[in-house]
Every structure is written in structure tokens, then in C-alpha cells.
Structure 1
Amino acid sequence: MRLITSLIFWVALAVSAEPLMVEKQRFTLDSFTTANGQVITPVNIGWEAYGTLNSDKSNAILITHFFSGTSHAAGKYQANDTAPGYWDAIIGPGKAIDTNKFYVISSDTLVNANVFDKNVITTGPATVNPASGKPYGLSFPVVTIGDFVEVQKALLDSLGIKKLHAVIGPSMGSFQAIEWAVRYPDKVARLIPVIGSAYMDTYSAIKLQRWAYPILQDPSWHNGNYYDKGQPIQGLSTALAYITQDALHPDGFNPRYPAISTDTGLHQRIDALPLAWQQLLAQARLRAEKQDANHILYLVRASQLWRAGMGDNWQQALGRVKAKTLFLPASGDLLLPPALSKHSAAAMSAAGNQPQYAEIPGNFGHLDGVIGIAAVAQQISTFLN
């Protein structure tokens, strides 16, 4: 009963609180050298912040976002925005990540998927290469989770922030959060990987190849050189439809789409498309207006290459983590299932750091780490304080 009462309190608080008003800021590096030795000149990313940095700059929390997300983690840009940032339920005054106490920073990654969103600032394949005057396309270097972290570190260095109270991120954001704690163990006091893992196993990496395949097979992709012709919209939309389906548990997916049993057209024509697929694809087409096909490919590759420390032995790399750690997988996650978090936590324990572990309940699978995060608000609050 006490747990239920506490959960109701946190959900009510998240719903009733006035949204923060935030603005996007730009961070620029004159040049950046990637892990594979390629130089990008310049690099721009967007970032936003919530709360106030204290005098000794010791209250900063970094939020690292998921695959299709942006730095818009909380608040609104305009009062009439249809929705606040994706983790508004837990970021704000009096919430689990309390902006009365903490200065919360969130940044766009390199090659952010939503490059055509007016509130996203990111350098990637769709960016014009100053040397040629044309978009980079596939001449843009392969980038890694480690590269994302290094750009974030440069941002924090520019703000004079030398240590983080915590790094927290969902999904691909969990990869970045863990890499922060591995690379800079003295700079990260607390670590919360949400719906994530310290490594990408072969099964999961090949599952992500299914997201890339429709783009690579679309004739309109033109080997990545499509910017003067238009996006390979069919391939991109199909990829985004797969991403949506893979992020949902069947219990969350089935009620949202027409049942196959009522789809009469399927009985008449072999080339008829299920209504559920048509709806999923139509929704994906809308999202495709703000996203870029090459950027999706680069994020797939960055995720496929992920392992803590970016070396041959991710288990050994976890031995460098000093941060107090809380793993938060989603119980119904079929994309990055709890087993990956459990294996990661076990490897960390074997290396001498005893992490905490809890699961996010819900019916939406991987997406419970975003839309259902309020269910573990109290655990997050207690951990941070």
C-alpha cells in the first residue's frame, strides 16, 4: 500500500506541475577528431538546461538521449507546445530529478536522427561540408558512442563543469551514460542506465540491421547521395515503422492497431497490406519529415559497435567505473531485454562495484523507459539524494 501511495504521489506531481520553459542553445567545436582518426570541421550540437548551476558547479546532472530522441528532455519551448520533453515526468521543480537542487543538462548527439527538426542542432551526413559546399553524405566518418561522449565532455568543459552528480540516459542514452563512467570515473559520481546495457550482443546488433536494410535497399537512397533529389522516403518510413514496432511489447502494440482477424482485405488479395501495417507506416511517414535516412544508418552503426570502453573487453572496462550505479531496465523490453542489464550489472559486480537494480513495470516494452519512467521516480529520487 505504501508503494502504491508513493507511486500515485509521483505521478500526480508529474501531471500537475507547470512545465519548465526552456530554450535551445548551440555549442560549437572548431574541429573534432573521431575515434577512427577523421577530422570534422566544425561540429555543432544543440543543448538545453533546466535549473541553476551552483557556485562550485557541483550539482550538474547530464541526460543522454535515446536513439530517436533529442536534447529536449523536459519543459516546453513555447507555452502552447503540444507536449513537453520526453522525461518531463521526472525532470523539474520537486520532481525526481529536482531542478530546485540540480542543474540538468541535455545535449543533441552528433548525427541526431531529427536533423530537420527546427529545434535540433547537430552535425552529421546531412550537414554541408565546408570543404565541398555539399552535404557530407557517406563521406562523413563513422562515429561511435565514444565520440558522442567526447563532444559532450567538450560542452561541459566549456561550462567549467569538472564533475557530474550523475549521468542518466535511456536506451542509446544508457550506452553514453555508461561510457561516461568508464572513460571519466573521477568525473561521474552516480550512474543510471535506463533500458540499456554495457554492450551490444550480436543478436541485438543484427536486429538493428533490420532498421538499416529498407534504407539501403531503396533505389532513391543513391548510395547516400540523395540530398539534391529528396529523401528515400519509402526506405526511411519502413525503417521508422520497424523501430516503432521493435520498441513496443505486443501488449502495448496490439490494442493500438487493427486486429488481423478483422482485416477482410487480406482474404481477397495476396498483395493486400494489413491495415495495422498501413497505419504504422503512415505514422512513420510523418516522423520521416524531420529525420534523415543517412543519420539513421549512422546511429544504427554507432549502436551496433557499442561496448563499454569501446575495446575488446567490455567486462574489464566496467572495472574502471567508480560511480554508484542503478540499472533500470523495463520488465517487458524485447529490444534491449532485462537480461542485458542483468549481465551488465553482474559484470560490474564482478569488477568490484555493486550496482543497484530495479525494473520498470508496464505494457509498452522498451518504451516504458520513456513514457513509463514515472513508475520508478521515487527510486531515482532516492538514489540521487
Structure 2
Amino acid sequence: MNDTQSVNATSSNDTMLVTKQVHEIEQFETFGGDIIKNVRVGWESYGELNDDKSNVILITHYFTGTSHAAGKYHPDDEEPGYWDSIIGPNKAIDTNRFFVISVDSLVNINAYDENVITTGPASINPDTGKPYGLSFPVVTMRDFVNVQKSVLASLGINKLYAVAGPSMGSMQAIEWASAYPDMVPRLISVIGTVKADGWTTATLEQWTTPIRLDKNWRGGAYYDQPPENFPNEGLAAALALVTQSALAPNFFNDVNAQLLAQADGKPDLYDIQQSPVIVQWLMERARGRTTSMDANHLLYLVRANQLFLTGMNDDIEQGLANIKAKTLFIPATQDQLLMPYHLERARDMLKANDKEVELVYLEGDLGHLEGLSGIAIHSETIRAFLAD
């Protein structure tokens, strides 16, 4: 195992500048017992690791996210990392105090993003010299956690100050607290869940259907084709479903009204080949994301989410009972994807086991995405949670 480059972000004009690091694992054994050779993942960090390595906060990312949780790679980047509003000097997760680290997941959907390093179906299988495709083993939240644990071990870190993440990152954070309770004294779970229930599992499966129906998918064996012949339309339709699932009705209705007000003319919907303006908007956004994402990777991420059960041992009560961490749950009231009941039930189950747990809500019309764009509203809550 090895890592390259320095371990902390620098600051320029109040913007943290960060460089992607590389972590390699010669042989990684999955939770399901398979071996993946030559695993490579990217990671980045903010702040400085203290002498006794006791100030580490791990950030675990969401479904379409990456390890780019805060800061910028270049001063002229259009946008900083997704939680930049709460990670940085004097912010809720204060990098003057904490060493904050985040890792690209295995099978990261952004397989063709120049700032993402991940091993998955699009990677070359060293045994065949060809992309894995669907021969890549199924991976789980525990595998994501164990890769992160390997990154931490390479830096000599054997305990966290806290772990925090939104959505799929929330699942990883919870799995950390259950799988390695002595390493995790504090847990922040945002817009998350402690298991994939029936409703969630079926919703996630719908994201995979357009890819499987795309003739260019070829049963997952499309990597010998030029990129324009990848299952791009299926991937775009899948991403449109992901986006709609992650937003709330009020947001869509407002966008629709704005589009109609700005349009030179409405599409003729008596022509069956025309699409409403809101659908055109949604699909245009989705198609714009396909160049950096991989369809097979989306399928594997969906399965990792569908398999999630805290503790990964078919016993949610025991999985939650393992947790020793002080816990902060932050669901979003208008979340249509991981609705508040998920974390409300988790809170009740933890309280029944005399665990220390707090729950506060995110309000706002972004629904699930309030956990990314609206998280700063709870800056003081998070700061106070991390204060002791």
C-alpha cells in the first residue's frame, strides 16, 4: 500500500486548494469474499494532522459524489467541493482544528472524471488485460468503509474523531460506527438511512432499467466500443431519474414555471415526439453528465445501496446495538428519496438502547439535496456536536 503527495490542503485567498492523492491496495478482499487486485482510489484532505493523530474527521460521499468534499483544485474552479459551506477554516468542521479526509469510493460513478481515481467495472482486470465489465465483484458499503480504513492505516491513523456523510455517505458513516465502534466516537448522518427497505430498494432498481434496456449496453460489455457508442442514452435517462428522486416537487414546479415564462413558444404537445419543457431541461442536464460517468458503475453503486443493512449481518437491531458513537441525525423534511422516517426510526432504535442521539431537520424545497446545498443552516448544530 502506498500514498503519494502531501496530506493537507493549502489556502489561497480564503479558498482551500487541494490536490488529489492516490492510495493503492495490492489485493483487496471484499465483504463477499472476492479478491480485487491492484485497487486504486483517490483521496484528499483539508487541515493538518496533529502529532497524536487524534483530530481526524472522515467525510464519506454521496451516490454521484466524489472525495471532493471542500476547497478547489484550482483557484479558478467554478465550484468548490460539495460541503465547502461547512468544511474549512473557522467553519462548522473547522480545519484549523481538524484534519478532514475523504476517499473516492470503489466503483465511483465518475469513472471518467480527471479528478477521480477509482477501481470498478471500467478498470482493467490485471488477469485478462481487458476491462472487468460485469465480471467485477459486487461490492458493499462495508467494502467502501474497508478501503477508507486502509487509507487511514497508511497514514498511521487508528481512530477517528468523527465520521460524517450525506445520503450514501450517511450509510457508510453508520456502517463505520457499527463495524468499528471503538474507532468512531462521533457520527453525523445526513439525509440517510440505516438500511435499504423495500421502498428504497425498488426505487433504486428503477435507476438501472434505462441502462439495461439501452441496446448499446450489450450486457455490460461495451468497453471495446468508442465512447459515443456506450449506453449513453440509457445512462442519461437513469441520471434523470436520480435527479428527480433527489429533488422535491416544489423545486420542479418552480423550475417548470420559470421555463414556461422564459420560453419563446411552448412545445406542441399534440405532437407525440415533443417533450414538455421541464422534461427537456431535466434530460439536458442528465446528458451533460454522461461524459464523466460510467453506466456499469451506476449499476454497481445501486446494488451496494440495495444491500445496505447496518452491520451487514441481517440483524438491524444488532447492527445498531454495536454503535457506541454519539450520533447526530439530519434528515430533510421534503426528502422524496430517503424520507425522514428512515432516520426517525433509527433515532428511536438507538434511544431504546440508551444511546446518545440527536435529530434535527433540514427544511427547504431542494428535498434530498438540502443535505448538500442546505447543510450550512445547521453549522452551529454541527459545531456544537463536535465541540466535546
TM-score normalised according to structure 2 size = 0.93
State the shift of 1:264 in Å. 4.2
Stretches of 4+ moved more than 3 A in 1? 257-267
Larger deviation: 260-269 or 233-242? 260-269
1:22 and 2:18 aligned: yes
- SS of the counterpart of 1:41? strand
The equivalent residue for 2:359 is 357
- SS of the counterpart of 1:186? helix
State the shift of 1:260 in Å. 9.4
State the shift of 1:257 in Å. 3.3
C-alpha distance in 2, partners of 1:259/1:271?
Answer: 23
Contact 2:134 2:220 in 1 (8 A): yes
1:113 and 2:109 aligned: yes
The equivalent residue for 2:158 is 162
- SS of the counterpart of 2:195? coil
State the shift of 1:258 in Å. 5.2
Match of 2:331 among 329, 332, 342: 329
Match of 2:303 among 295, 301, 326: 301
1:91 and 2:87 aligned: yes
C-alpha distance in 1, partners of 2:41/2:253?
Answer: 37
Match of 2:97 among 83, 95, 101: 101
C-alpha distance in 2, partners of 1:267/1:156?
Answer: 55
Q: Which segments of 5 or more consecutive residues in structure 2 lack a partner in the other structure? A: 1-12
- SS of the counterpart of 1:239? helix
- Deviation by residue 1:98-142 (Cα, 9 ceiling, x = unmatched): 000000000000000101000000000000111111100000000
- SS of the counterpart of 1:257? helix
C-alpha distance in 1, partners of 2:51/2:62?
Answer: 30
Contact 1:319 1:352 in 2 (8 A): no
Letter in 1 for 2:162: A
- SS of the counterpart of 1:310? coil
Higher helix share: 1
Contact 1:166 1:189 in 2 (8 A): yes
Letter in 2 for 1:279: W
Instruction: Let me know the Cα RMSD of the aligned residues.
Output: 1.5
Match of 1:382 among 381, 384, 388: 384
- Deviation by residue 1:208-253 (Cα, 9 ceiling, x = unmatched): 1111000011110000000111320110000001111110001122
C-alpha distance in 2, partners of 1:367/1:175?
Answer: 16
C-alpha distance in 1, partners of 2:252/2:338?
Answer: 17
- SS of the counterpart of 1:27? strand
The equivalent residue for 2:55 is 59
The equivalent residue for 1:6 is none
- SS of the counterpart of 1:359? coil
Letter in 2 for 1:298: Y
State the shift of 1:354 in Å. 2.9
The equivalent residue for 1:196 is 192
The equivalent residue for 1:177 is 173
The equivalent residue for 2:252 is 253
1:78 and 2:74 aligned: yes
TM-score normalised according to structure 1 size = 0.94
Residues 27-38 of structure 1 mapped to structure 2, 5 A cutoff: 27-38=23-34
C-alpha distance in 1, partners of 2:20/2:116?
Answer: 8
Among all aligned residue pairs of Structure 1 and Structure 2, give the percentage whose two residues are the same amino acid: 52
Contact 1:253 1:364 in 2 (8 A): no
CA distance 1:98–1:41, shift in 2 (3 Å):
same
C-alpha distance in 2, partners of 1:333/1:382?
Answer: 25
- Deviation by residue 1:141-192 (Cα, 9 ceiling, x = unmatched): 0000011001111111111111100000000000000000001111001000
